[in-house]
């Protein structure tokens, strides 16, 4: 039976990463293999899948050079990602990896995309850096992370795929077309490590809103549980359709969420409710006249 080209099976992998890079990479590779055995063609990993330590600054310790730009022969995290994609014949969106930044003692929180042959197709650096404090928790990514400045959409077996990481999710304009000539994404990737506090309050509603307003599938892969550092992440990885319905989700712990991107369904929703065609541009300029 020939494959229906309008459908693509996808997977969001949920992890509870530790401070052992070796352990995390072993877990990741096993989960990608399992997702592939269940028919997944596109697999998404959570933010910081390779390392969550006692302090955020430790990520600098595990930073790698960009081996495609700088010619490094072997980098453990990037190499294992490439191997996992190639060995399982899947497209793999590699959560995030710490890559040396231009600023001293900082990293870029970089998301890599590998095709089914293990070739690196794209790199996106997280643009919006998380900052939050409530008297108990205190986070400031800008202290150790250098922000990216370029949104990125790539072609994958699931269609036009827009890349985003965690805190990016809070900025709806980030995902929207900038002008009438822009193409709307078919799929939005959200690789995250939402805290339990912010995740419980906002994770699902933000994900569903991004799906509805962009009439796109959302594949959200998250960290989910209590890490050996004491940090708690919200989990609840999920796949959402362009109508805003949750196709599949999990709660906490190591898991795999499977779903299907159906381009015929996506197009039907956009035809029936042509909201993307009704988007107005340059409203600020018009209102000032």
CA distances from residue 246 to 17, 206, 250 in whole angstroms, order as listed: 25, 12, 11
Q: Answer whether 266's CB lies under 8 Å from 186's CB.
A: yes
Q: Catalytic: 126?
A: yes
Q: Round to whole Å and give the CA distance between 253 and 260.
A: 22
Q: 34-55 burial, b for 16+ CB within 10 Å, e for fewer?
A: ebbeeebbbbbbbbbbbbbbee
Residue 78 CA to residue 97 CA, distance in Å, equals 8
Q: Choosing from 41, 47, 232, 260, which is the catalytic residue? A: 47
Considering the candidates 166, 232, 249, 260, report the single residue annotated as catalytic. Answer: 166
Q: Which two tokens stand for residue 111?
A: 């998301």
Per-residue DSSP letters for 148-162?
-----EEEETTEEEE
Which of the following is catalytic: 8, 126, 146, 232? 126
Q: Does the active-site annotation cover 131?
A: no
Does residue 8 have an active-site annotation?
no
Catalytic residues: 47, 126, 166
């Amino acid at each position: 039976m020939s494959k229906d080209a309008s459908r693509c099976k996808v997977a969001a992998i949920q992890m509870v990463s530790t401070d052992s890079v070796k352990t995390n990479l072993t877990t990741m590779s096993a989960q990608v293999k399992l997702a592939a055995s269940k028919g997944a063609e596109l697999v998404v990993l959570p933010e910081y899948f390779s390392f969550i330590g006692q302090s955020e600054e430790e990520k600098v310790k595990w930073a790698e050079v960009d081996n495609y730009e700088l010619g490094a022969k072997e980098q453990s995290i990037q190499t294992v990602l490439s191997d996992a994609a190639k060995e399982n014949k899947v497209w793999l969106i590699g959560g995030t990896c710490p890559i040396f930044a231009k600023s001293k003692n900082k990293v870029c929180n970089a998301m890599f995309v590998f095709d089914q042959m293990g070739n690196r197709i794209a790199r996106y650096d997280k643009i919006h850096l998380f900052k939050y404090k409530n008297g108990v928790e205190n986070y400031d990514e800008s202290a150790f992370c250098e922000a990216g400045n370029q949104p990125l959409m790539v072609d994958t077996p699931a269609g036009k795929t827009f890349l985003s990481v965690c805190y990016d999710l809070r900025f709806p304009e980030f995902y929207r077309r900038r002008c009438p000539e822009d193409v709307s994404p078919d799929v939005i990737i959200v690789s995250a490590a939402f805290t339990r506090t912010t995740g419980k309050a906002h994770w699902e509603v933000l994900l569903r809103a991004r799906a509805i307003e962009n009439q796109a599938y959302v594949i959200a892969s998250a960290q989910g549980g209590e890490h050996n550092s004491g940090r708690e992440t919200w989990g609840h990885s999920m796949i959402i359709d362009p109508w805003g319905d949750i196709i599949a989700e999990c709660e906490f712990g190591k898991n795999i969420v499977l779903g299907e991107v159906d381009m015929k369904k996506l197009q039907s929703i956009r035809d029936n409710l042509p909201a993307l065609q009704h988007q107005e541009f340059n409203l600020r300029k018009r209102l000032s006249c």
